[in-house]
Amino acid sequence: EAGVTQFPSHSVIEKGQTVTLRCDPISGHDNLYWYRRVMGKEIKFLLHFVKESKQDESGMPNNRFLAERTGGTYSTLKVQPAELEDSGVYFCASSPGLAGVWSYEQYFGPGTRLTVT
Amino acid sequence: AQKVTQAQTEISVVEKEDVTLDCVYETRDTTYYLFWYKQPPSGELVFLIRRNSFDEQNEISGRYSWNFQKSTSSFNFTITASQVVDSAVYFCALSEAQGSSGSARQLTFGSGTQLTVLP
């Protein structure tokens, strides 16, 4: 079974540009989460999808960040316009649920390292 | 508010030594879940273990063992006879109880402990 995949693995952009990160969860997982780790600090929660709906977006830092989950499958996280402080590693995770299989474990992807110069 | 503290930023041991990674947490919830994840140099976060707040039994899995003590709000992780392949960043995390929708709550992470096992 394929794990959580993220694309790209690394992105370098200039301040003011737009970047879109993609996450493909484990097939059949209804829950999808975005986290980020900035400058070696804690990994911080950004938002949580249940299928295509946003369950919790309390961690989104500001309106420059837009997340979508098309048809309850893959998700994208767009940063527009990017600022220097957005640099960090963005992780995506997924877990099952709503289908009779409740799981507390979240399975993480390898992350996308975003560098804003 | 939830908080997880991993006071050890970096630990270095020689192969075959035992090593304990500390994790202290804060939460107002009576039901919660604790996790350990491993982040090897390749970057992905690998799930290691989950413990429920109502189950204080220690757990052993091969060379790994976990000591959960509610009285001290700690969930420590011990690697016995460490190996070079154990070198990684280890994260402790906490989440609230399962939501009514059946979905797991967000994880609150500690800052991680970089473990280096020298040959």
Q: Is B7 on the interface with A (CB under 8 A)?
A: no
- What pLDDT sits at residue A99? 46
Residue in B46, B103, B111 nearest the CB of A42: B111
pLDDT tens sequence across A65-110: 999 998 889 999 999 999 999 999 999 999 886 544 455 688 999 9
- What pLDDT sits at residue A103? 59
Residue in B98, B101, B111 nearest the CB of A41: B111
Q: Determine which helix (DSSP H) or strand (DSSP E) holds A1, and give its type and residue range.
A: none
Residues of chain A that touch chain B, judged by Cβ-Cβ distance less than 8 Å: 3, 30-31, 33, 35, 40-45, 48, 50, 55-56, 59, 89, 91, 93, 95, 97-98, 102-111, 113
- What pLDDT sits at residue B103? 59
pLDDT tens sequence across A2-22: 799 999 999 999 999 999 999
pLDDT tens sequence across B4-56: 999 999 999 999 999 999 999 999 988 888 999 999 988 889 999 988 888 88
Contacts of B37 in chain A (CB under 8 A): 108
Q: Are residues B42 and A110, on separate chains, in Cβ contact within 8 Å?
A: yes
- What pLDDT sits at residue B99? 59
pLDDT tens sequence across B57-71: 888 889 999 999 999
Q: Are residues B103 and A41, on separate chains, in Cβ contact within 8 Å?
A: no
pLDDT tens sequence across A38-52: 977 889 999 999 899
Residue in B43, B91, B99 nearest the CB of A43: B91
Q: Which of B23, B106, B113 best tests the A interface by mutation, with the highest count of A CBs <10 A?
A: B106
Q: Is B42 on the interface with A (CB under 8 A)?
A: yes
**Distance, CA of A29 to CA of A99 (rounded, Å):** 9
pLDDT tens sequence across A23-41: 999 998 889 999 999 977 8
Q: Say whether the peptide bond before residue A110 is cis (omega within 30 degrees of 0).
A: no
- What pLDDT sits at residue B79? 97
**Tokens found for residue B17:** 């030594």
Q: How many CA atoms lie within 13 A of B55 on its CB side?
A: 8
State the DSSP string of B42-56. Answer: T---EEEEEEETT--
Contact between residue B6 and residue B74 where contact means Cβ atoms under 8 Å apart: no
